[in-house]
Amino acid sequence: MSKLIASAAIRGAKNLVARAEEALDKAIAEKGKDLVFEFPDTAFYLPMIYAMTGFPVKTLGDMKVALGFAKELLHDEPEDHIWKPYLGEALDSGMATLFAEEIILAVRYINGLEPYKCPETGLVYNGFITDTIQRSLGIQLVDGTMPGFAAIIGAAPTEDIAVTICKELQEKNILTFLSGQSNGDSVTRQLQRKGVQLGWDTRLVPLGPDTEHTLYALDWAIRASLIFGNKKAGDFAAHLKYQKDRVFAFALALGPLDDIKWSTGAGAINMGFPAVCDTDVPVIHPTGVCLYEEVDKEFDHSKIVQKAIEVRGLKIIVEKPPIPVSYGPAFEGERIRKEDTFIEFGGQRTPSFEWVRTRELEDIEDNKIVIVGENWQDKFEKGGQLPLGIVIDIAGRKMQKDFEAVIERKIHHNINEAQGVWHMGQRDINWIRISNAAKKDGFTLEHLGIVQATMTHNRFRSIVDKVQVTLYVDEKDVLAVQEEARAAYKDRDKRIGSLTDEAVDIFYSCLLCQSFAPSHVCVMTPERLGLCGAYNWLDGKAAFEIDPTGGNQPVPKGELLDAKYGRYTGVDDYLKQASGGAVETLNLYTIMENPMTSCGCFECIVAILPEANGVMIINRGFPTMTPIGMKFSTLAGTVGGGVQSPGFMGIGVNFITSNKFLFGDGGIKRVVWMPKGLKERVKEGFVKRAEEEGVPDLFDKIADESICEDSEKLVEFLTQVNHPALSMDPMI
């Protein structure tokens, strides 16, 4: 580590520690040292300080203690006549910097200054990244949809360069955080001036205008090892190793570097995140002395993203259909307003549907796009609204009728990933918009078909040999074929509805989350989907056909050991091996004994409420208090990391209305509390299940936040409505 950099990092750290102290002392003088603080929606206090030291900062007074840790890490600047690597000094300064920045930002929150709102443009920056966002994005990070994330600090030399760099990151599906300034400008401002959509939907997230705001990105990174990695707070070596091995992050430092940028950079390097600069900095290569360290430079902005990807060792495969607009998951969340729409299909405005159908190999022609409709070109060119039927015919030696639904579900992503094209809904309630901008770039009706053909091939390579797409635009054709499609949807639903755990010999595993939670295995059965809600048994089956060595493996059931609790010899054998010995046995249908492990990206948590002799279910993102005395974020912090926690379990929303939901514990009748929003979401299926269980009025006996937020009132309410759980066998 060059003396120069060490000096800059040490100066930066000292400066920040002094600023943190000043701000903190002022806050304590004004509000007292007992003032309680937490960042919005996190169970991890000040996450960096908590992960590294194990010290939970809860009050201003605690911050003072934590600042002491930072001070201990400060060194004197290197003297000129001494030569040594100064590695430890720089890295210590980096960590001191992160602690000080965390305290500075916390105090800013207390003073109502965060998230930062730009007085000129009105833009509200994201500020602290919540646990909820982290958990909901977990799945994209593990399944490779989002191969990594970047922090851009500073400003590009021009607005156009800023746009080009960010677009390249979007096309590579990298989540990008923006912070800091240089030369009085910032990438955030540059993108804003060019009218680029910012936010989680487009994967360009402005954190704040200063270098210190980069800490929010590092705070999000460090929570991955707490949430998914099950690393203990205070075990800093384990956290740093996890970050280096599993969190694929890097920084692009644009514009000149000052002391604060160097010291923040040293903090990031501690975590294994390299930085690529566009200025003439001393290059540092990994030395093997520390965990990892690298600073590199690239003056050519058209190569800087690629350089960073190489330095961090990211593997990125981008599959793009031949269309005249940008393509990738980063464009999926983009909205198209009515006034920006050139043409739209469906959405209750015109008849429309989308349907995947299995055909024989000899019946279709690969990659052929057929458009059926009189003068369809003229109708399209006119814009406005048009009926549209999309039929995707698939043939393949390994194609099965069961895969139709899996492939059909991807139509949404296939279309949405094109920039300037938008899709919502499915089946015969779909809605598609093509923007004026996309039309201007040359996007046509035929491209809608091309996108489907290319992406269906890409995504389902080994089950799909041929894809032919037919688009109907005349109302009479759309209505006629829609009838056939509806009959097919119905058949399909009937078949899937009748699939039970007993009716199959093979379950499927999902191991995707092992990249974050190494001992976690989801066992997906026909009646139980993965806990993230994104994959079910059919998806697992299809994925295994597509990639036999991938993250979804068949789990032969073996012998049934316990029908009530759902225990099978084959599942146990598989789990022992797939969890590296961490999980010995699993009961599929209970939370009380050897329940499924939880990784961290669960849609809901089921938790036992002994005083109510039942369970509550709480969905990710529900912000307020629950009868167990914890908010979702706190509760979620205690469940996860790939371990079994009897009494607590992560589940997918749709599991609630499965026949096998807590089957061994008495089933749906055990549910005593759910947030209102979740209740509404599952209402239809829930009421049906309750009727089957002989308790048709169960739904109205379930409490929610409008009835109570604590267990005493809950029991009162349950008694008053005579909830069935109260008279069931004791859960414990």
Binding site for ligand SF4 (CB under 6 A): 139, 142-143, 510, 512-513, 522, 530-532, 534-535, 599, 601
For the bound state, the minimum distance from the C-beta of residue 342 to ligand SF4, rounded and expressed in Å, comes to: 36
The set of residues, in sequence order, having a beta carbon less than 8 Å from that of 712 and lying 6+ positions away, is none
Q: How far is CA 130 from the centre of its chain?
A: 12
Minimum CB separation from Zn ion for residue 591, in Å?
18
Give, as one character, the DSSP assignment of residue 418: B
Closer of 25 and 143 to ligand SF4 (Cβ): 143
Binding Zn ion (rule: CB under 5 A), the pick from 601, 682, 698, 725 is: 601
Nearer residue to ligand SF4 within complex by CB, 655 or 717: 655
Looking at the Cβ atoms of 116 and 248, the one nearer to Zn ion is: 248
Spatial CB neighbours of 667, under 8 Å, sequence gap ≥ 6:
659, 661, 693
Q: What minimum distance in Å lies between the beta carbon of 145 and Zn ion? A: 13
Of 232-240, 377-385, 437-445, 591-599, which segment contacts Zn ion by CB under 5 A?
A: 591-599
Which residue, 251 or 578, is less far from ligand SF4 as judged by CB?
A: 578
Is residue 243 within 8 Å of residue 226, measured between CB atoms? no
What does the CA dihedral 206, 314, 6, 157 come to, rounded to 10 degrees? -50
Please state the closest distance from residue 535 (CB atom) to ligand SF4, in A.
4
How do beta strands 604-609 and 388-395 pair?
Answer: unpaired
Decide whether 453 or 578 has the Cβ nearer to ligand SF4: 578
Is 522 a residue that touches Zn ion (CB under 5 A)? Answer: no
Considering only CA atoms, which of 524, 644, 519, 510 is closest in space to residue 579?
A: 519
Report the distance separating Cα 256 and Cα 261, nearest Å: 9
Binders in 351-370 for Zn ion, by CB under 5 A: none
Least distance (Å) between residue 174 CB and ligand SF4: 20
Nearer to ligand SF4, 142 or 715 (CB): 142
Min. distance of Cβ 650 from ligand SF4 in angstroms? 8
* Nearest distance, CB of residue 28 and ligand SF4, angstroms: 43
In the bound complex, what is the minimum distance in angstroms from residue 540's beta carbon to Zn ion? 14
Cα–Cα distance for residue pair 608/612, rounded to 1 Å: 9
Per partner kind, with CB cut-offs from 5 to 8 A, the member of ligand SF4, Zn ion, none near residue 627 is: none
Segment contacting Zn ion (CB under 5 A): 108-116, 324-332, 380-388, 593-601? Answer: 593-601
- Give SS3 for 440: helix
- Grouping H, G, I as helix, E, B as strand and the rest as coil, residue 336 is coil
Can residue 599 be called a binding residue for Zn ion (CB under 5 A)? yes
Q: Which of 464, 513, 609, 718 binds Zn ion (CB under 5 A)?
A: 513
Nearer to Zn ion, 251 or 601 (CB): 601
Torsion of CA 454, 459, 463, 469, to 10 degrees: -30
- Closer of 224 and 715 to Zn ion (Cβ): 224
3-state secondary structure of 666: coil
Residue facing ligand SF4 at closest CB distance: 530
* Minimum distance, C-beta of residue 551 to ligand SF4, in the bound complex (Å): 7
Between 45 and 655, CB nearer to ligand SF4: 655
Dist. CA 525–CA 51, nearest whole Å: 36
Choose the one of Zn ion, ligand SF4, none that binds residue 251, judging by a C-beta under 5 to 8 angstroms depending on kind: none
SS3 132: helix
Burial tier of 337 (Cβ tally within 10 Å: 0-12, 13-18, 19+): exposed
Tokens 């001494």: give the residue: 82
User: 3-state secondary structure string, 209-241?
Assistant: CCHHHHHHHHHHHHHHHHHCCCCCCCCHHHHHH
Q: What is the DSSP letter of 75?
A: -
Rounded to an integer, what distance in angstroms lies between the CA atom of residue 384 and that of residue 386? 7
Nearer to ligand SF4, 188 or 654 (CB): 654
Q: Is 481 in the site for Zn ion (CB under 5 A)?
A: no
Burial label for 483, CB within 10 Å (0-12, 13-18, 19+), is exposed
Select the binding partner of residue 510 from ligand SF4, Zn ion, none (C-beta < 5 to 8 A, by kind).
Answer: ligand SF4
Map residue 397 onto helix, strand or coil.
coil
Residue 534 site contact among Zn ion, ligand SF4, none (CB < 5 to 8 Å, cut-off depends on kind): ligand SF4
Which one of ligand SF4, Zn ion, none is in contact with 543 (Cβ closer than 5 to 8 A by kind)? Answer: none
The C-alpha torsion from 432 through 437 and 443 to 448, rounded to 10°, is -20
Taking each continuous run of H as one helix and of E as one strand, the counts in the chain are: 22, 23
Count of chain residues binding Zn ion (CB under 5 A): 3
Nearer to ligand SF4, 406 or 471 (CB): 406
Residues that bind Zn ion (CB under 5 A): 513, 599, 601
